[in-house]
Structure 1
Amino acid sequence: MSELVVEKISKLYQGEPILSEVSFSVKDGEFVALLGPSGSGKSTLFHLIGGISKPEQGAFYLDGINITGQRGAISYTPQSPSLFPWRTIIDNVVLGLEIHAKPDYDRARTMLQKAGLSGYEEAYPHQLSGGMQQRVAFVRALLSPQDFICLDEPFSALDEFTRLEMQKWLLTIWEENRQSVLFVTHNIEEALFLSDRVIVLSSKPAQIKKEFVVPFERPRREELLLSEEFLKWKKAIYQELQGNHDERHH
């Protein structure tokens, strides 16, 4: 079980409001994308959920337990893979497990194999491409003992082709485990392709502007990206985000 409830979170940065009474939830086994313009406080929200900083008001609940300001309750993958350069790939992926329990090297090897990283177990991060390093970071998140995973724009540094491959790979892996995921992105197509729900944030101070329940069945296929239905949804979300842009200029 792993349900996150975000309740009326407000946060100031240098006296300026960044988040204003943000409330939403991620149900057990649900994949939710948080979509907003750059600088809309998406990463700030992650830091708050992860307990790196505390909100001015509001609370976070994981399975009914208040985790506000607590570290270690969730698994977090930042924008850059942030692997330890002195540790081998296999030692990087078991890191989360190592902190909490005895590392399961067999499972780690299986996951790396599924990630297309067979034969790289004993390599070091600098020997891998950006996309491969990102996959290592994912495997580490999926192997962490926490059931709730926060992914912060993990594909933003990749080219479009690699990005799509990574999205498909992530979905395949996720289908097997169905962990609860909160995924931050500013890419509409990515949000639609991956998620069960897309939550649109307004520009600063960020508030929940609209929520879209994605109707596409799983498992998702690449052809979906070119369908009429997909483009219709993409347009609706784009207009919602454009509204943010227009409000700022009035």
Structure 2
Amino acid sequence: MTSMHLEIKDVSYSFDGKQNILEKLNLHVDEGEFVTILGPSGSGKSTLFHLTGGILKPDDGDILLDGKKINGLKGHISYMPQQPSLLPWRTVLDNVLLGSELAGFKDKEKAKVLLMKAGLGEYEQAYPHELSGGMKQRAAFIRSILSPQHLMCLDEPFSALDELTRVQMQEWLMSFWEEYRRSVLFVTHSIDEAVFLSDRIYVLSAKPATVIKEVIVPFSRPRREEQLLSEDFFNLKRELYAALKPTFTT
């Protein structure tokens, strides 16, 4: 598989040309890394994804993919939004093939294998309204895996799920990611989720957002639910909370 390196370099962005949402933001994602952006609500986490995906263009700074400037250019990332955004008139199989179909190819056999691994094999001809929330998110993730881009941007994909389903989905995502090792840039406002899933975490300030802390997560893989209750896990949570706390009142 082609190597991948994303660099966000001194990126600033404002919707109105007056007040910046992002200000001189710097971060990077290496090949096969799971990197999480952690920050308060309204800190510009989703805006960063829109910039990386070329929907928006930075006012200043550069977004580089493998050294190539991609400011304002679409088609370089696979994107999974907060809501699964499955098309209601397409079957589950056709939904997960959408990204690869738009890129000019589709591999139905691979899609069926991945749906089977995701526990959705018997639902490939079902429609989205027949699926639970967790099943819809699994289908949306398979769609991202099948898209040809090497960088996956996941925008709070589990935020609408109940706590138990959310933990189950985090474990499911980890098992899938460990097998395929796509580069991931993940957005969340949950400290637990960030620590459990990530190799590295960037903590953002409140608006205008900039990186205030970078943390390398020291836990080995594969990770399990029991780690959520360990002393080392709680210590890292406290460290991240201390970094985030000033942003709550800014």
Give me the whole-angstrom Cα distance separating, in 2, the residues matched to 1:219 and 1:68: 35
Greater than 4 Å deviation, 4+ residue runs = none
TM-score by length of 1: 0.97
Q: CA deviation at 1:200?
A: 0.0
Give me the whole-angstrom Cα distance separating, in 2, the residues matched to 1:53 and 1:13: 10
Match status 1:112 vs 2:115: yes
Give me the whole-angstrom Cα distance separating, in 2, the residues matched to 1:144 and 1:157: 24
Give me the whole-angstrom Cα distance separating, in 1, the residues matched to 2:170 and 2:131: 19
The correspondence of residues 70-85 of structure 1 with structure 2, limited to 5 A, is 70-85=73-88
Amino acid at match of 2:91: T
Match status 1:217 vs 2:220: yes
Taking only the aligned residue pairs, the percentage that are identical comes to: 57
Q: CA deviation at 1:222?
A: 1.3
Structure 1 counterpart of 2:44, from 41, 46, 50: 41
Give me the whole-angstrom Cα distance separating, in 2, the residues matched to 1:193 and 1:4: 22
Match status 1:53 vs 2:56: yes
Amino acid at match of 1:211: E
* C-alpha RMSD over aligned residues: 0.8
The correspondence of residues 65-214 of structure 1 with structure 2, limited to 5 A, is 65-214=68-217
Amino acid at match of 1:29: G
Q: CA deviation at 1:102?
A: 2.3
For each residue in 1:120-139, what CA deviation from the matched residue of structure 2 results, as whole angstroms up to 9, or x when unmatched?
00001111111111110000
Match status 1:6 vs 2:28: no
Match status 1:63 vs 2:66: yes
Amino acid at match of 2:45: K
Amino acid at match of 1:64: G
Give me the whole-angstrom Cα distance separating, in 2, the residues matched to 1:221 and 1:126: 31
Total equivalences in the alignment: 247
Amino acid at match of 2:238: K
Give me the whole-angstrom Cα distance separating, in 1, the residues matched to 2:248 and 2:124: 46
Unaligned ranges ≥5, structure 2: none
